[in-house]
Amino acid sequence: MSNTIEVLNNAGQQELAARLESLSGDARKALERDILSQDWEELKALYAEKSSASLEDNVSADLKPMPFKIAVDDLRYDFWKETGEILLGKGQVAAFLVAGGQGSRLGFDGPKGMFDIGLPSHKSLFQLQAERLQNLATQVGNPIPWCIMTSPLNHEATVNFFTEHNFFGYARENIRFFEQGTICALSPEGKAIVDNDRLALVPDGNGGCFRALAQSGTLAWLIEKGVRYVFLYSVDNALCRICDPAFIGALASEGRSMSASKVVHKAGPNEKVGIFALQNGKPGVVEYSDLPENYRDMTNADGSLTFDGGNIAIHLFKIEGLRKLQTSKLPWHTARKTVCGIEKCWKFEQFLFDAFPQLGTMMPFGVIREEEFSPVKNAEGNDSPKTARTMIGKLHREWLRKAHVKFDESKLYEISPTISYAGEGLKQSLFDRELGRNILAFDEE
């Protein structure tokens, strides 16, 4: 205990040290556990650095667009797909789901992955993903390890939800749940915030995923299984093609890069998505809010946007890259937020895309938005359950059309991931048999 008090005093946290000394029993143990989870020297340094700095210059002067092509148009696409299927069949690919968020913006009290977006099946985002992965695993003849990163806010609820639903048919031994790391929020004066005798710990940002993967033992678990590629994605994309074989095969064939990212053409210059670009010759993502207007509106001779590669938070990493990132120091970003009723508190977080410059070259993999990107972020309007339902319904209707199936053109369709991963295997006899069961028609709203 005396050592803990000394560490706090050295870090300028005398009030916290006094609070700890005033407690006894379980309350004291709980607060001490929180305190021991933090790096107080790092917090002291972060506060000193960020509080004395002016607004961060987030964009370098040497900013160049990162060119990309739509992958399905590439003559190598079928070869990539076959290569990816072979790697999946050998058990060399895993899925990594970032699922620490709550559904509060959707008006839902619980983990976002438990949210029902209103499809006719009423399947949750978690169930849709589990079934998609399970179908792919069956096709390639090998289970796909699934790592699910929660947060302290939703870990218990997430694990309970999976348990209650028997892991949606996924073998329990092939899933690993682990929590995202946390960092203590600081008052405007740099003091640790305490709430009900516990530290005010907040998630350390999606960039903490690499550290959490390693510290939880999950990276070692993947290495032991012989995994060579890890497909990382966010929970709220209703159209995510998890562990897409062509994406995996493209990175495996490319050779040099440690990572790849799926990219879409921006809907327009003002769409609020980060863009992939080269800063000082290194690949990275520039946040929408950090991109200067002259870059945002810049166009090529044909009228297309110059800075056009939209980040949809779907990435692929070689296992060597993840091993490197477990010890790499990503930069910390700051936000001033109200915490426990105190305004303008310091919250520190790391961003996943800051990993790309550290890994060197990166492969952009262009995909078609209508086929692979429908985030569920807002209760209404853009990126809402309604837009996701419509996009799924139209995509699945297009699958049926391509399979030469006769169907009611006035309807949208939901095709269960249990019978088709990405439109394959559909035919008239299957449609007739599964309509009303695993193929459900619904009206456009």
Looking at residue 102, what DSSP letter applies? B
Radius of gyration of the chain from its Cα atoms, rounded to whole angstroms: 23
34, amino acid identity: D
Neighbours of 208 (CB within 10 A): 24
Structure-token pair, residue 263? 């990219």
Cα–Cα distance, 364 to 262 (Å, whole number): 6
Location of structure tokens 């086929």:
371
What is the distance between the alpha carbons of residues 178 and 149, in angstroms, rounded to a whole number? 5
State residue 420's pLDDT score: 98
> Going residue by residue through the chain (445 aa), what tens digit of pLDDT does each one get?
568 899 999 999 999 999 999 999 999 999 999 999 999 999 999 999 877 654 445 565 689 999 999 999 999 999 999 999 999 999 999 999 999 988 989 999 999 999 999 999 999 999 999 999 999 999 999 999 999 999 998 999 999 999 999 999 999 999 999 999 999 999 999 999 999 999 999 989 999 999 999 999 999 999 999 999 999 999 999 999 999 999 999 999 988 899 999 999 999 999 889 999 998 889 999 988 888 888 999 999 999 999 999 999 999 999 999 999 988 889 999 989 899 999 999 999 999 999 999 998 899 999 999 999 999 999 999 999 999 999 999 999 999 999 999 999 999 999 999 999 999 999 999 999 999 999 999 999 8
Domains of the chain, first to last: 56-383 (3.90.550.10), 384-445 (no CATH)
In the prediction, which pLDDT does 104 show? 87
How is 377-444 classified by DSSP, letter by letter?
Answer: --SSSTTSHHHHHHHHHHHHHHHHHHTT----TTSEEEE-TTT-SSSTT--HHHHHHHBTTTEEEE--
- CA-CA distances (angstroms) from residue 329 to 160, 282, 302, 355? 33, 17, 41, 9
Measured CA to CA, the distance from residue 286 to residue 269 in angstroms comes to 14
Indicate the pTM of the whole model. 0.94
Burial 252-269 (b: 16+ CB within 10 A, else e): beeeebbbbbbbbbbeeb
**Cα(242)–Cα(231) distance, integer angstroms:** 7
Here the tokens at position 92 are: 């060399």
Helix, coil or strand: residue 315: strand
Q: Which residues pair with 318 in a beta bridge?
A: 229
User: Coil, strand or helix: which one is 29?
Assistant: helix
386 within 8 A of 281, measured Cβ to Cβ = no
pLDDT score recorded for residue 56: 46
Calpha distance 242→244 (Å, rounded): 5
* Cα 343 to Cα 422: distance, rounded to the nearest angstrom: 47
